[in-house]
Amino acid sequence: MKVKNENLVSVDAMLDEKFGKVGTPEREEFRKEAYAYCMGQIIHDARKKEKVTQSELAEMVGTNKSYISRVEKGLIEPSIGTFCRIINALGLIIEIVKPATQGK
């Protein structure tokens, strides 16, 4: 027995309405901002777990506390070199894998 709940909304439909369809400049900008925010949270959480201050992390990677703060807030995206130094300083690793293809 299927029950239709009119209070449920598709996340895709909600994102389409608010940020435009996939592929539009508005949706791409949202995706980039969301990605930067998520990466910042990963760095923030790892830094806290390691009991390292923003100033200490900044010194380890050759930048300043303000820069680390902006990265953690998702306001800026570090270059790949800086990102790798941050990850390394926090004892994390980056794993690059080829995703499984569907239907093959």
Instruction: Confirm whether 94 is domain-assigned.
Output: no
Closest among 24, 33, 43 to 76, alpha carbons compared:
33
Structural domain count, the chain: 1
Instruction: Please give the structure tokens belonging to residue 82.
Output: 């800086």
Instruction: Confirm whether 57 is domain-assigned.
Output: yes
Instruction: Confirm whether 19 is domain-assigned.
Output: yes
Given this model, what pLDDT does residue 14 score? 85
Residues 8, 14, 30, 100: what is their CA dihedral angle, to the nearest 10 degrees? Answer: 60
Instruction: Confirm whether 25 is domain-assigned.
Output: yes
Which structural domain, as residue segments, surrounds residue 40?
A: 12-89
Instruction: Confirm whether 78 is domain-assigned.
Output: yes
User: What's the CATH code of the domain at 32?
Assistant: 1.10.260.40
Given this model, what pLDDT does residue 103 score? 56
Q: Tell me the whole-structure pTM to 2 decimals.
A: 0.75
Model confidence over 43-101: pLDDT tens digits? 999 999 999 999 999 999 999 999 999 999 999 999 999 999 999 999 999 899 998 87
Instruction: Confirm whether 97 is domain-assigned.
Output: no
pLDDT of residue 1 exceeding 60: no
